[in-house]
């Protein structure tokens, strides 16, 4: 499709396959430049039309061209409602739990450190590295195998949310969208945040083992 080619109005017959694929990809999660280069380019070219399309159901398109990712987020009620009752939430708010939140903060810290130290555009960690990174902030346990299984479950959940991308050999690429979720303000008070999360996670894990 050429850049200047116009698309049918949302809901009209004959909507292009590329447009449908882009919407479906965004509805399923984060759209990454590296993972889907063709859809990514289409999304960049047609941001206004995609925004108009998803605005009907109370969503907004966020695109970070520098880092190479885009996703849909729920609009605030005052923006999604047009004088009537607020639209129901399409994207559910899910409580993460302390261990998952702590791991997100640690991954964001690791990404920031890698940017300063190496300047590499990608941060790839093994599952074992991620497990050990979180274990440092958890209480010692007599059942290390069970703890590792639980941490592996947290890693899987974070991957499902789009913050990690699974690679062959039990490795994961840290998605740069994590920088939007755990922003610079978090990093400014990172030591305090890690202390709080470590204490809460310790209480959570102790309660689970009781």
Helical (H) or strand (E) element with 205? helix 190-209
- Note whether 13 and 82 are same-domain residues: yes
- Note whether 195 and 104 are same-domain residues: yes
- Note whether 128 and 184 are same-domain residues: yes
Write the CB contacts of 72 (distance below 8 Å, at least 6 apart in sequence): 26, 27, 54, 59, 60, 61, 62, 91
Dihedral of CA 106/185/65/56: which sign?
positive
- Note whether 80 and 104 are same-domain residues: no
Structural domains of the chain, count:
2
- Note whether 110 and 198 are same-domain residues: yes
- Note whether 162 and 185 are same-domain residues: yes
Reported as a single tens digit per residue, the pLDDT across 38-61 is 999 999 999 999 999 888 888 888
Reported as a single tens digit per residue, the pLDDT across 131-141 is 998 888 777 77
Reported as a single tens digit per residue, the pLDDT across 187-210 is 555 556 566 655 665 565 555 554
Banded model confidence at residue 128, pLDDT cuts 50, 70, 90: very high
Between CA 19 and CA 178 the distance in angstroms is 26
**3-state class (DSSP) for residue 57:** coil
In the numeric block, which tokens belong to residue 170? Answer: 């039990």
Range of the domain at 131: 98-209
Q: Is 169 exposed, middle or buried (0-12, 13-18, 19+ CB in 10 A)?
A: exposed
- Note whether 81 and 140 are same-domain residues: no
Between CA 28 and CA 42 the distance in angstroms is 17
**Average pLDDT along the chain:** 75
- Note whether 158 and 201 are same-domain residues: yes
- Note whether 5 and 24 are same-domain residues: yes
Reported as a single tens digit per residue, the pLDDT across 58-83 is 888 888 888 888 888 877 666 544 55
- Note whether 80 and 147 are same-domain residues: no
CATH number of residue 161's parent domain: 1.10.10
Above 90 in pLDDT, residue 7? Answer: no
- Note whether 7 and 72 are same-domain residues: yes
């Amino acid at each position: 499709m050429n850049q200047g080619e116009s698309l049918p109005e949302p809901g009209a017959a004959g909507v292009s396959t590329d447009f449908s694929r882009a919407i479906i990809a965004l509805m399923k999660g984060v759209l990454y430049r590296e993972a889907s280069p063709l859809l990514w380019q289409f999304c960049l070219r047609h941001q206004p039309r995609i925004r108009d399309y998803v605005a009907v159901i109370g969503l907004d398109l966020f695109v970070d061209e520098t880092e190479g990712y885009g996703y849909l987020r729920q609009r605030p009620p005052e923006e999604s409602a047009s004088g009537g009752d607020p639209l129901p939430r399409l994207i559910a708010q899910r409580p993460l739990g302390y261990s998952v939140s702590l791991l997100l903060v640690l991954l964001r810290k690791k990404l920031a450190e890698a940017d300063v130290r190496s300047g590499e555009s990608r941060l790839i960690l093994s599952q074992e590295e991620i497990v050990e990174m979180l274990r440092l902030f958890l209480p010692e346990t007599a059942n290390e195998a069970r703890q590792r299984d639980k941490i592996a479950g947290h890693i899987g959940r974070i991957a499902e949310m789009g913050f990690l991308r699974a690679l062959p050999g039990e490795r994961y690429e840290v998605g740069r969208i994590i920088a939007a979720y755990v922003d610079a303000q978090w990093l400014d008070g990172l030591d305090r945040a890690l202390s709080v999360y470590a204490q809460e996670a310790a209480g959570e894990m102790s309660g689970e083992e009781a």
